[in-house]
């Protein structure tokens, strides 16, 4: 016989962060009038098909726009989506690569990134600036009246520059006043979408020591028990148009319970998994959690690691979105009751329902029940209060001092209170000058950087300018973690927990000519290509000159290939090329040769 229903107490979460709230009040929420439907045209002349959607889950950030497919190739014309003026042009070996920004008089800005090249007059403008500043990478901000554009003007050509993993156009709509990216799918672009989202998994969390879960297996009849501060992941299948758990037919709970979901959206003309727009969770018909991906601040995008189950992502590469809000999560995308956490009352029954919606009105709905049939063990809660003093409070500074190491966390390092674990070992990679210190574990996310100082007094004097912290990976290899030697310690700011030690980098970057050699006649070549690489700390800078004058070598960050394009600046004759490449620790390699042209 079903137990009694517990009426929900509608107490909204206190607002602690005024700036995000004011931004929402000033610039609207889901009011459709704030999204003009006929103002922007498509940035491409081909049917729009997406490889990535707005606010899609990415490593350490939300995706800030749409990734529009370009049939696997570069060179499509990119059109200004509306009247306005070019307000920014950027060039980089990583990130957006070649990108152009158009400001519109209606309060929005559109962004076009990973471009192959700019159209004129922007291309000549950028090249002149690069030579004037003697830098391939730059960020330029033309004056308002310098480059007006009309809706439909060709402003660039699609490509694969920067950190792009394949040819496509990254397209954004931003609020000019706040700089926040807005969901372009709310602006009426013509993208076919009649497919509902899909639900893959539900995760249940026993939120504290007094919480409990029991899951009955529908095949075997056996029970799985989940203790406090643990969680369980349940697969979801779809049969006859409805979702259900694949193996669970009864869930019993006690204490405070949280929820999470793995869900994806799909479009008609694309097999790609896309991000969900809206997630609603109800208990007994009343909402307890809503997340809506309309906009976000770039300053808060790393809070994705609080939005998701970070340990699940690190361990299994699954994007589980929490349906409750961690204390240090400042994203202004939620509306919750009691942070989305359900407090189970003994002998009560709870009807839970997830509703996943996309921007076109397609929905996926999944319902299930929880039964409050487990007694809470209060003695365990009392025991938890006496745990060691290594507990870091999420909004307070924390310092860990042990022989050979000092760790300092800022009040914004953590998203939740955390028991910090520490150990050290003498084994590890050969090229190290300290024990390997394990600072907590890499399945706990870090928001603001924290500092690690490791005792380096035993480092030989000749190496003290070449040392840094190295992060030791699970395969035993080290990655560069920055830092420098000062007053006997090597100190760095890092953004991941894990294993750290001191290492040295004395090896200069490598330079490998691809199509040039000493005294080669380059008259039939359109460019000079040279590959540069560093084995540890990474390339800090490079400078190429021809006949003593700075030369524009464009760097492809994915391949490490420098490319100088012959553009008529060189006179016929013999020329001297000099390339200097430096890594992060000051190791320098020089390549010199002559060529004819």
Q: What is the pLDDT of residues 21-33, one digit of tens each?
A: 444 444 444 444 5
CA distance 307 to 569: 52
- For 161-178, how does the pLDDT look when each residue is reduced to its tens digit (9 = 90+)? 999 999 999 999 999 999
pLDDT (0 to 100) of residue 3: 47
Strand partners, 358: none
Using CB atoms within 10 Å of the CB of residue 310, give its burial: 0 to 12 exposed, 13 to 18 middle, 19+ buried.
Answer: buried
216 SS3 class? strand
pLDDT at residue 384 tops 50: no
Of residues 179 and 1, which shows the higher confidence score? 179
Tokens of 96: 């957006």
What does each C-alpha distance from 294 to 10, 24, 261, 321, 535 come to in angstroms?
A: 25, 10, 19, 16, 41
pLDDT (0 to 100) of residue 34: 86
Tokens of 171: 């397209």
Global confidence as pTM: 0.91
Q: Chain centroid to CA 193: how far? A: 26
The alpha carbon dihedral of 104, 109, 115, 117 has a sign of: positive
Strand partners, 459: none
What's the helix, strand, coil split of the chain in %, to 5? Answer: 10, 45, 45
pLDDT (0 to 100) of residue 282: 98
Instruction: Give the residue-averaged pLDDT of 76-94.
Output: 98
CA distance 65 to 164: 13
Contacts of 513 (CB under 8 A, 6+ apart): 529, 530, 591, 593
pLDDT (0 to 100) of residue 375: 73
pLDDT (0 to 100) of residue 269: 86
What are the start and end residues of each CATH 2.60.40.10 domain in the chain?
510-596
Residue 8: which of 283, 210, 215 has the closest Cα? 283
DSSP string, 520-570: EE-TT-SEEEEEEE-SSS-EEEEEEEETTEE--EEEETTTTEEEEE--S-S
Residue 27: which of 332, 328, 300 has the closest Cα? 332
Contact 65, 43 (CB under 8 A): no
Residue 372: which of 343, 342, 346 has the closest Cα? 346
pLDDT (0 to 100) of residue 500: 98
431 SS3 class? coil
CA distance 574 to 377: 85
CA distance 349 to 368: 11
Using CB atoms within 10 Å of the CB of residue 304, give its burial: 0 to 12 exposed, 13 to 18 middle, 19+ buried.
Answer: buried
pLDDT at residue 360 tops 70: yes
Domain 510-596, CATH class in plain words: mainly beta
pLDDT (0 to 100) of residue 377: 56
pLDDT (0 to 100) of residue 370: 98
Q: Name the CA dihedral angle for 117, 120, 122, 125, rounded to a multiple of 10 degrees.
A: 110
The CATH label, of 3.40.50.300, 2.60.40.10, 1.10.620.20, 2.60.220.30, for the domain at 391-504 is 2.60.220.30
Model confidence band, residue 374 (pLDDT cutoffs 50, 70, 90) = confident
Tokens of 160: 């694969």
> H or E stretch including 112?
strand 108-118
Contact 373, 255 (CB under 8 A): no
pLDDT at residue 541 tops 50: yes
Instruction: Give the residue-averaged pLDDT of 502-510.
Output: 97
What are the start and end residues of each CATH 2.60.220.30 domain in the chain?
391-504
pLDDT (0 to 100) of residue 33: 53
Model confidence band, residue 404 (pLDDT cutoffs 50, 70, 90) = very high
Model confidence band, residue 243 (pLDDT cutoffs 50, 70, 90) = very high
- For 297-344, how does the pLDDT look when each residue is reduced to its tens digit (9 = 90+)? 999 999 999 999 999 999 999 999 999 999 999 999 999 999 999 999
Query: In this structure, are strands 520-521 and 588-596 parallel, antiparallel, or unpaired?
Result: parallel
Tokens of 576: 């001297």
Instruction: Give the residue-averaged pLDDT of 34-41.
Output: 94
Region of poorest pLDDT, from 14-18, 207-211, 222-226, 345-349: 14-18
- For 96-115, how does the pLDDT look when each residue is reduced to its tens digit (9 = 90+)? 999 999 999 999 999 999 99
Fold of 35-187: Glucose Permease (Domain IIA) (2.70.70)
User: For residue 64, what is the DSSP state?
Assistant: -
Count CB neighbours of 457 within 10 A: 11
Percent of the chain with pLDDT over 70: 92
């Amino acid at each position: 016989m079903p137990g009694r229903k517990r009426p929900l107490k509608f107490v909204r979460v206190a607002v602690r962060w005024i700036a995000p709230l004011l931004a929402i009040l000033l610039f609207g929420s889901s009011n459709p009038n704030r999204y003009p439907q006929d103002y922007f045209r498509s940035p491409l002349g081909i049917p729009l098909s997406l490889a990535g959607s707005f606010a899609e889950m990415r490593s350490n950030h939300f995706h800030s726009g749409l990734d529009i497919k370009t049939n696997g190739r570069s060179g499509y014309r990119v059109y200004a989506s509306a009247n306005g003026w070019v307000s920014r042009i950027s060039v980089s070996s990583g990130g957006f690569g070649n990108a152009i920004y158009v400001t519109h008089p209606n309060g929005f800005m559109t962004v076009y990134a990973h471009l192959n090249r700019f159209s004129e007059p922007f291309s000549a403008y950028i090249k002149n600036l690069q030579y004037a500043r003697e830098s391939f990478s730059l960020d330029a901000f033309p004056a308002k009246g310098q480059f007006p554009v009309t809706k439909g003007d060709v402003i660039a050509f699609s490509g694969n520059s920067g950190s792009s993993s394949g040819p496509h156009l990254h397209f954004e709509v931003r609020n000019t006043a706040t700089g926040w990216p807005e969901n372009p799918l709310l602006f009426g672009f013509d993208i076919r979408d009649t497919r509902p989202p899909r639900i893959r998994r539900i995760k249940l969390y026993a939120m504290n020591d007094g919480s409990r879960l029991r899951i009955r297996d529908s095949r075997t009849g056996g029970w799985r028990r989940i203790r406090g501060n643990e969680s369980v992941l349940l697969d979801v299948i779809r049969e006859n148009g409805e979702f259900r758990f694949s193996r669970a037919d009864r869930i019993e709970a006690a204490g405070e319970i949280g929820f999470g979901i793995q869900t994806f959206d799909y479009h008609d003309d694309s097999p790609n998994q896309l991000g969900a727009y809206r997630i609603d969770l109800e208990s007994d018909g009343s909402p307890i959690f809503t997340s809506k991906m309309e906009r976000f601040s770039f300053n808060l995008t790393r809070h994705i690691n609080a939005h998701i189950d970070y340990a699940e992502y690190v361990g299994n590469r699954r994007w589980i979105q929490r349906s409750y809000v961690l204390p240090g999560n400042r994203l202004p995308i939620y509306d919750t009751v009691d942070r989305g956490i359900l407090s189970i009352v003994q002998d009560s029954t709870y009807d839970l329902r997830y509703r996943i919606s996309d921007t076109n009105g397609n929905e996926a709905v999944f319902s299930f029940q929880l039964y409050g049939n487990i007694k809470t063990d209060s003695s365990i809660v009392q025991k938890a209060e006496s745990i060691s003093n290594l507990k870091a409070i999420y909004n307070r500074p924390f310092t860990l001092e042990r022989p050979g190491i000092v760790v300092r966390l800022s009040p914004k390092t953590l998203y939740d209170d955390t028991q910090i674990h520490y150990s050290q070992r003498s084994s590890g990679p050969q090229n190290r000058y300290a024990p390997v210190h394990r600072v907590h574990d890499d399945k706990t996310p870090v928001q603001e950087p924290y500092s690690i100082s490791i005792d380096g007094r035993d480092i030989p004097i000749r190496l003290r300018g070449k040392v840094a912290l190295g992060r030791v990976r699970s395969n035993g290899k080290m990655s560069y973690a920055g830092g420098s030697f000062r007053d006997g310690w090597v100190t760095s700011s890092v953004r991941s927990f894990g294993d750290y030690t001191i290492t040295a980098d004395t090896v200069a970057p490598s330079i490998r000519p691809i199509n040039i050699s000493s005294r080669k006649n380059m008259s039939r070549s359109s460019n000079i290509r040279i590959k540069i690489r560093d084995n540890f700390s990474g390339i800090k800078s490079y400078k190429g000159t021809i006949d003593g004058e700075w030369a524009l070598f464009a760097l492809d960050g994915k391949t490490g290939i420098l490319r100088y394009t012959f553009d008529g600046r060189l006179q016929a004759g013999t020329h001297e090329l000099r390339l200097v490449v430096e890594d992060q620790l000051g190791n320098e390699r020089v390549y010199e040769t002559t060529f004819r042209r």
